[in-house]
Amino acid sequence: MQLINEIMTRDVMTVSPQETIRRAAQMMDELNVGAVPVCDGQKLVGMITDRDITVRAIAAGCAPDSTYVGDIMSSDVRWCYDDQPVDEVMEQMQDVQIRRIPVMDHNTQNMIGIVSLGDLATKHSAEVDRTLEKISSPSEPDRPQLNS
């Protein structure tokens, strides 16, 4: 049984909730990623995605240099432990339709890595097709639809 700590990406760059969304977007560009964990010191407090920046901030008219990560990040973050089986974490990703999940140290409760679909595809490919299919299936909007 393969564990998450065997395939996760370590030394993950994080952003502070006090940083601007412009800085978060620049980090995503530099790292070529679509999401960055938000940490207050060693404590995971949220995730910010390129979609959060585009939809929650820019489309709503927020200024990139005066809107903070903490204002638009997703604070209800799903995570896993470093000693969880890979299959269990893939099920969790499928259930909530997420493409990446922070990895927490079971002893310290600090974030020590992240697992993405890419990590799963390159290091544990047996069930990745099913996981991708479940994650990618249409979901309900996360906000009320406006009536025309």
The residue-averaged pLDDT of 3-11 equals 92
Q: Are 44 and 109 in contact (CB under 8 A)?
A: no
Domains of the chain: 4-136 (3.10.580.10)
104 backbone dihedrals φ, ψ, rounded to 5°: -105, 145
pLDDT in tens, 68-82: 999 999 999 999 999
- Compute the half-sphere exposure of residue 100: CA atoms within 13 Å on the CB side of its CA: 18
pLDDT of residue 146: 45
> What Cα–Cα distance (Å) separates residue 21 from each residue in 13, 32, 71, 96?
15, 16, 9, 25
3-state secondary structure (DSSP) of residue 46 = strand
pTM for the whole thing? 0.79
pLDDT (tens digit per residue) in 117-148: 888 887 765 555 555 555 556 655 555 444 44
Strand segments (E) across 60-127: 80-81, 100-104, 111-116
Which pLDDT score, from 0 to 100, does residue 65 have?
96
Residue 101: pLDDT over 60: yes
Higher pLDDT, 118 or 114: 114
Q: 114: which strand partners?
A: 9, 102
Q: Which pLDDT score is estimated for 148?
A: 41
Q: Which pLDDT value is given to residue 1?
A: 82
Looking at residue 42, its pLDDT comes to 83
Q: Which pLDDT does position 61 carry in this prediction?
A: 95
Listed range (34-43, 61-70, 97-106, 120-129) with the worst mean pLDDT: 120-129
